[in-house]
Amino acid sequence: MAKIKVGELKELKKNFPSESEIHGFKGLDIEIKKYIPILEKIGFASSVYGSALNDDNGLHIVGQNEVDIMYKVLLIKTYTNVSLPKDAIEAYDLIVQSGIYNFVADKISIEEIMDLALVIENLIEEKKEIHKQEQDFTNIIKGLANQLIEKLPAVDDLDGIIEQATKAMEEFNPEKLEFVNEFIKKKGEKDGNNKDI
């Protein structure tokens, strides 16, 4: 079986039908893209995720209402020539109430919609898993730090330990260590020095 070359695929792409189509909606000419590249889909998903994330107090909550709102608003902004208000809630109400959202969504292929939804779902799951692992790691470190702190002596105990060590050092007399004297004596005999300590 002969391999199809990259150049042939690129040439084939040139013969694809237009990447967008114009559809009439209540007197408006709406240009609707049939497909957006994968990097654009990932950017789309990141915007949806970023808008829906509530990470106050270290929590990681992705609001499903926010996902729905941003998904619909960004679908219209990304796939069409329709300008929308900057406020996402206002834009959402406008596109849903007017019927533009349903009209546009029906014109985009089910495969494209499913691919986009999958990219969003995968990105949200990946971010949740990253957050979970970061939390697990943080909890492990906190647990180890707490165990270490529990094993350290209290400040009052530490003062007592230092005091005892100082006193022991002051009272230390190497001559009282009999085995040291024996060692020195034997070493001296071996070396020819027979001095008593």
How many domains is the chain partitioned into structurally? 2
Please tell me whether residues 105 and 176 are part of one structural domain.
no
Q: pLDDT higher for 51 or 173? A: 51
- Does the structure show a pLDDT above 60 at 4? yes
Q: What is the pLDDT of residue 91?
A: 96
Please tell me whether residues 27 and 123 are part of one structural domain.
yes
Please tell me whether residues 26 and 111 are part of one structural domain.
yes
Q: What are phi and psi of 44, to 5 degrees?
A: -60, -50
Q: What is the pLDDT of residue 195?
A: 52
Mean local confidence (pLDDT), 109-135: 89
Any idea what DSSP says for residue 57? Answer: G
- Does the structure show a pLDDT above 90 at 80? yes
pTM of the shown model: 0.64
Percent of the chain exceeding pLDDT 90 equals 45
Please tell me whether residues 126 and 160 are part of one structural domain.
no
Judge contact between 78 and 92, C-beta under 8 A: no
Please tell me whether residues 114 and 22 are part of one structural domain.
yes
What Cα–Cα distance (Å) separates residue 26 from each residue in 73, 99, 101? 19, 10, 13
Residue 120's closest CA among 193, 68, 61? 68
Does residue 63 lie within any of the structural domains? yes
What Cα–Cα distance (Å) separates residue 82 from each residue in 31, 63, 113? 8, 26, 18
Does residue 111 lie within any of the structural domains? yes
Residues spanned by the domain of 23: 17-132
Strands (E), the chain: 20-25, 28-33, 53-54, 61-62
Buried b (16+ CB within 10 A) or exposed e, 124-153: beebeeebeeeeeeeeeeeeeeeeeeeeee
Q: pLDDT higher for 69 or 164? A: 69
Does residue 142 lie within any of the structural domains? no
Does residue 98 lie within any of the structural domains? yes
* Average pLDDT across the chain, whole number: 82
* Residue owning tokens 């971010």: 127
Please tell me whether residues 86 and 175 are part of one structural domain.
no
User: Exposed/middle/buried for 44, CB within 10 Å: 0-12, 13-18, 19+?
Assistant: buried
Please tell me whether residues 110 and 185 are part of one structural domain.
no
As given in the structure block, the two tokens for residue 14 are 């040139």
Mean local confidence (pLDDT), 2-17: 76
Does residue 174 lie within any of the structural domains? yes
Does residue 173 lie within any of the structural domains? yes
* Residue owning tokens 């996902």: 67
Q: What is the pLDDT of residue 67?
A: 92
Q: What is the pLDDT of residue 174?
A: 58
Q: What is the pLDDT of residue 197?
A: 47
Q: What is the pLDDT of residues 40-59, one digit of tens each?
A: 999 999 999 988 887 776 66
Q: What is the pLDDT of residue 58?
A: 66
Q: pLDDT higher for 49 or 182? A: 49
Q: pLDDT higher for 91 or 57? A: 91
Percent of the chain exceeding pLDDT 70 equals 71
Please tell me whether residues 128 and 169 are part of one structural domain.
no
Mean local confidence (pLDDT), 122-140: 79
Please tell me whether residues 117 and 175 are part of one structural domain.
no
